[in-house]
Amino acid sequence: MRRNPSNTVLTRLQLLMLLLQLLTVKIKVVDSHKVTASLILNHNYPVEEHTVHTPDDYILTIYRIPTSPKRNHQNQTAEKPVVFLQHGILCASDDWIINGPETSLAYMFADAGYDVWLGNARGNTYSRQHKHIHPDTSDFWRFSWHEIGVYDLAAMLDYALAVSQSNSLHFVAHSQGTTTFFVLMSSLPWYNEKMRSVHLLAPIAYMRNHSFILSKLGGIFLGSPSILSWVLGSKELLPITSVQKLMCGHVCSEGSMLKFLCSGLLDFIGGWGSRHLNQTLLKDVCSTHPAGASTSQIIHYLQLYISGDFRQYDHGRAKNEIIYQQPTPPSYNVQNIKCCVDMYYSDNDYMSAVKDVEYLASLLPCVELYRIPFDDWNHYDFLWSNNVKEVINNKIINKMMRYDDFV
């Protein structure tokens, strides 16, 4: 396959950045105030904090669970298969651990013998840094999930593979994490070769049948380039605050008369009527979410909804001509996704519609679909349901272990 010269330059920059990081790589002593790190330590698992620099100078914090206390009797120096988990929009690495050590996917991977890495995209709680730009300026937030895919995800995967001394990994993502996967594999197709297996929860690419009411309303005003989308773009969206954490401790706690507001908000966004959500997690979910993002990420999704296509950010005709050399944004070539993909989807997911997932699957050369056997399973049940271990997690691990019979 012939590579675009600009992609080759990007690859060289990524390799150079990675080499510089590895020459100075240090495992930081984690701070107790960081939720991902403190929770992992509280659950008696080891944790490492790593810093990843992207080619455009964003500074990301990612976490590693190198082993499990349940496997201390086994050879800890043996090479382990790598698994990388990527969160969704307005989320962070906390997603994969707050369900506790018996149910959370990250811990289950560690218990099964995997070298576990937890990513964090630019702009969230753990990745609000840039080499030159302060997060209080709009320049910091001038990105969408396109940049998260081609810069952040590529850099994090390369880093995890290099530190783990492996040439391939298993990849798991939820929601926007799946979108960034599609972006990366379509734009830089040689990353397909680094995938050992791929498991996408509530995948989002095409949004023709998207049913979230705020998307329908937002699409009218922000789904096409306009003065309003220009004014509202490149802004920080819903960062975590100390006031929010304090409120969560009261409103979402066990016994609170207002607890229904917390579960109701998740139902409104992810799909009404779920009986699966682990209600005891509401306080933890509230105190770590939303974790911050750029408004341009939301606008980009609204553009997909209005256009019916899976394509790059629409800056307007004049700027598109400069950036893309054409009046409209180029579509992502999903036919470039050559690695086999497992996609998990459900009927009651407002963000990831059944017809959209199945249409995407029809375009991929190697795909396996798993439709959740509950008609009320929603967008967040993929992470925090009472029965997520039995419905999804065990299925993913069993599938992965077919590739890794030495685990």
Q: List the one residue out of 180, 150, 142 whose CA is nearest residue 315.
A: 142
Q: List the one residue out of 397, 398, 399, 352 whose CA is nearest residue 372.
A: 352
- 15 vs 233: CA distance, rounded Å: 31
- Is the separation of the CB atoms in 106 and 96 below 8 Å? yes
- 350 vs 60: CA distance, rounded Å: 29
The radius of gyration of the chain from alpha carbons, rounded to an integer in Å, stands at: 20
- Is the separation of the CB atoms in 7 and 187 below 8 Å? yes
Considering the candidates 187, 294, 379, 385, report the single residue annotated as catalytic: 379
Q: DSSP for 327-394?
A: SSPPBP-GGG--S-EEEEE-TT-SSS-HHHHHHHHHH-SSEEEEE-S-TT--TTHHHHBTTHIIIIIH
Secondary structure class of 1 (helix, strand, coil): coil
User: Is 168 labeled as catalytic in the residue annotation?
Assistant: no
Secondary structure class of 343 (helix, strand, coil): strand
Q: Are β-strands 169-174 and 195-201 bridged in parallel, bridged antiparallel, or unpaired?
A: parallel
Considering the candidates 175, 187, 229, 294, report the single residue annotated as catalytic: 175
Q: List the one residue out of 185, 160, 193 whose CA is nearest residue 65.
A: 160
User: Is 197 labeled as catalytic in the residue annotation?
Assistant: no
Amino acid 398 reads: N
Q: List the one residue out of 156, 146, 144, 143 whose CA is nearest residue 183.
A: 146
- 184 vs 12: CA distance, rounded Å: 16
Q: Which residues are catalytic?
A: 175, 379
